Amino acid sequence: MDTTLLAAEGEHSPLAVEWPELILGLIVFGIVVALVAKFVVPNFEKAYAERTAAIEGGIEDAQQAQKEAQAALEKYNAQLAEARTEAARIREEAKEQGAQIVTELREQAKAEADRITAAAHAQVEAERAQVLAQLKAEVGDLATQLAGRIVGESLEEEARQKRTVERFITELEGSAN
Amino acid sequence: MTTALTFVAAEGEGFTAPGPGSFELPPVFEIGSLGVTKSMLLIILSAFIVVGLSWYASRKAAVVPGRAQFAGEYLYGFIRNGVARDSIGSEHFMKFVPYLFSLFTFILVNNYYGIVPFLQFPSFSRISYVYGLAALTWLIYNGVGIAKHGFLGYLKLQTIPSGMKGPILVLLIPLEFLSNILVRPATLALRLFANLFAGHLLLILFSLGGAYLILDSGNAWYAPVGVVSFLLGIAVSFLEMLVMFLQAYVFTLLTAMYIGSALADEH
């Protein structure tokens, strides 16, 4: 056993303070704390904060998108309903218009028919009057000739003839009435 | 010392058992009259490792972390949320996260020196470094307590348990003062130091003893025992890895809890 080593051991209790070591340890650790506080912790905190923001932002975005999708769906549904009412309204209108058109056409046709009937009546009436007038003249002639032959004398004066004929026709009309 | 002597007596021809002297390494080089020892170099190296690695892991601060950043964030989150926030409370903890994170990583790296080949010396088996850290923790937790409650208010908080009245206080106040103000830094320092010291001593004993039994004892029958000694040394190394982590964690956790209790409104 080395006695000098023993002596050396006796001098230094393991619990004794070695000032150079203590001070060096404090200085080095102080530098470590300062550097960690300045360069390491802010970076880690930044990463945490950014990650939190990213996750929260993602959730918010998703919620936003969901909201927008919901809004769009509601809008489309509303538009669809509107379109349905519109279609129903148009159908209704078309039906009404159709009915109206049919009525109008019917009325028009009826009016036309009436008009044609009336025209026909008038024509017939006119023709009848014409025929009647002709007939009167012819009947007058015939009657004059017949009367001349029967009486044996020719009525010379045309005026007198006409008066006689008209009187005769008036009498005829009066007797017809 | 006595162990060493008995060994000497028993072996007769000089197996020097490791003792406290094993931690008194000669200076690697000297600056003036100041001897620079291995532990000093290791402490300085640990600063580079801690700051370098944690800066490397955190430098990108990406939303989607890479491998290094993920590992760094895991460790950082462990201290930030698992130690600082849980012990100090979510209101004040952020101020102490840099200190606690540095404390944990600094102790962790220095502890694991004990099992890194060629380094193989846990810095905190030299108690002076531990005194420094314990003193710092003591200053911080008392400092923030006094800053928040005032000197007398803080003393009252630390020495009078809530709801205690009457003559019992004569007994309680000195006891609480002793345990909360005086003994805490000492136990903090001794716990870390003693674990590292004893663990390293065990490792030296098993490896030196094994080597001696196999090579130098001059008795071939001792060689198998030497092999067993080596195997035990390996097993103890694994145990030490656990202890090294735990001690770093305990030191940091206790620091956080002391700060938390100093900031608490009642305890």
pLDDT, tens digit (0-9, with 9 covering 90-100), for A78-135? 999 999 999 999 999 999 999 999 999 999 999 999 999 999 999 999 999 998 888 8
Nearest to A22 among B1, B61, B128 (CB): B128
Q: A60 to chain B, minimum CA–CA distance in Å?
A: 17
A45 in any annotated domain: yes
Residue A117 confidence (pLDDT) = 93
Assess A6–B contact: CB distance below 8 Å, yes or no. Answer: yes
A44 in any annotated domain: yes
Residue B10 confidence (pLDDT) = 47
CB-CB under 8 Å, A36 with B54:
yes
Other CB atoms within 10 Å distance of the CB of residue B241: 15
- How far apart are the C-alpha atoms of B198 and A129, rounded to whole Å? 156
pLDDT of A76 over the 90 cut:
yes
Nearest to A29 among B14, B40, B132 (CB): B132
Assess A1–B contact: CB distance below 8 Å, yes or no. Answer: yes
B8 vs A contacts (CB less than 8 Å): 1
- How far apart are the C-alpha atoms of B56 and A36, rounded to whole Å? 11
- How far apart are the C-alpha atoms of A33 and B132, rounded to whole Å? 14
Place of tokens 């025209």: A119
Residue B53 confidence (pLDDT) = 93
A35 vs B contacts (CB less than 8 Å): 51, 55
Residue B33 confidence (pLDDT) = 80
Assess A12–B contact: CB distance below 8 Å, yes or no. Answer: yes
pLDDT, tens digit (0-9, with 9 covering 90-100), for A40-68? 999 999 988 888 888 888 888 899 999 99
Which stretches of chain B drop beneath a pLDDT of 50?
Answer: 1-12
Residue B258 confidence (pLDDT) = 94
Residue B1 confidence (pLDDT) = 42
A6 vs B contacts (CB less than 8 Å): 1, 4, 21
Q: A35 to chain B, minimum CA–CA distance in Å?
A: 7
Residue B218 confidence (pLDDT) = 78
- pTM value is 0.71
Domain edges within chain B:
37-263
The answer to whether residues B47 and A31 touch, using CB atoms and an 8 Å cutoff, is yes
Assess A29–B contact: CB distance below 8 Å, yes or no. Answer: yes
The answer to whether residues B211 and B227 touch, using CB atoms and an 8 Å cutoff, is no
A3 in any annotated domain: no
A28 vs B contacts (CB less than 8 Å): 43-44, 46-47
Candidates B36, B102, B192, B193, partner chain A, best to mutate (most A CBs within 10 A) = B102
- How far apart are the C-alpha atoms of A52 and A66, rounded to whole Å? 21
- How far apart are the C-alpha atoms of B78 and B208, rounded to whole Å? 38
Helices (H) and strands (E) in chain B, counts: 10, 2
Report the sign of the C-alpha dihedral through residues B51, B53, B59, B62, in that order.
Answer: negative
Nearest to A21 among B14, B65, B126 (CB): B126
A1 in any annotated domain: no
The answer to whether residues A14 and B29 touch, using CB atoms and an 8 Å cutoff, is no
| CA distance readout (Å), B138 to A91, A163, B162, B176 | 91, 163, 23, 16
- Look up residue B163 and give its amino acid: G
Assess A137–B contact: CB distance below 8 Å, yes or no. Answer: no
Q: B147 to chain A, minimum CA–CA distance in Å?
A: 21
What's phi and psi for A156, nearest 5 deg?
-80, -40
A6 in any annotated domain: no
pLDDT, tens digit (0-9, with 9 covering 90-100), for A138-171? 888 888 777 777 666 555 667 777 788 888 888 8
The answer to whether residues A22 and B123 touch, using CB atoms and an 8 Å cutoff, is no
Nearest to B142 by CA among B127, B129, B159: B159
If one counts the domains in chain A, the total is 1
Residue A154 confidence (pLDDT) = 59
CB-CB under 8 Å, B127 with A15:
yes
Structural domain span for residue A25: 16-176
> Element (H or E) spanning B78, and its range?
none
Confidence of residue A176 (pLDDT cuts 50, 70, 90): low
- How far apart are the C-alpha atoms of A93 and A95, rounded to whole Å? 5
| Share above pLDDT 90 across residues of chain A, in percent, rounded to a whole number | 51
Nearest to B98 among A10, A37, A51 (CB): A37
Half-sphere exposure of residue A167: CA atoms within 13 angstroms, side-chain side: 7
Across B17-172, where does the E strand assignment appear?
29-31, 34-36
Half-sphere exposure of residue B225: CA atoms within 13 angstroms, side-chain side: 10
Other CB atoms within 10 Å distance of the CB of residue B35: 14
Q: B177 to chain A, minimum CA–CA distance in Å?
A: 24
CB-CB under 8 Å, B99 with A33:
yes
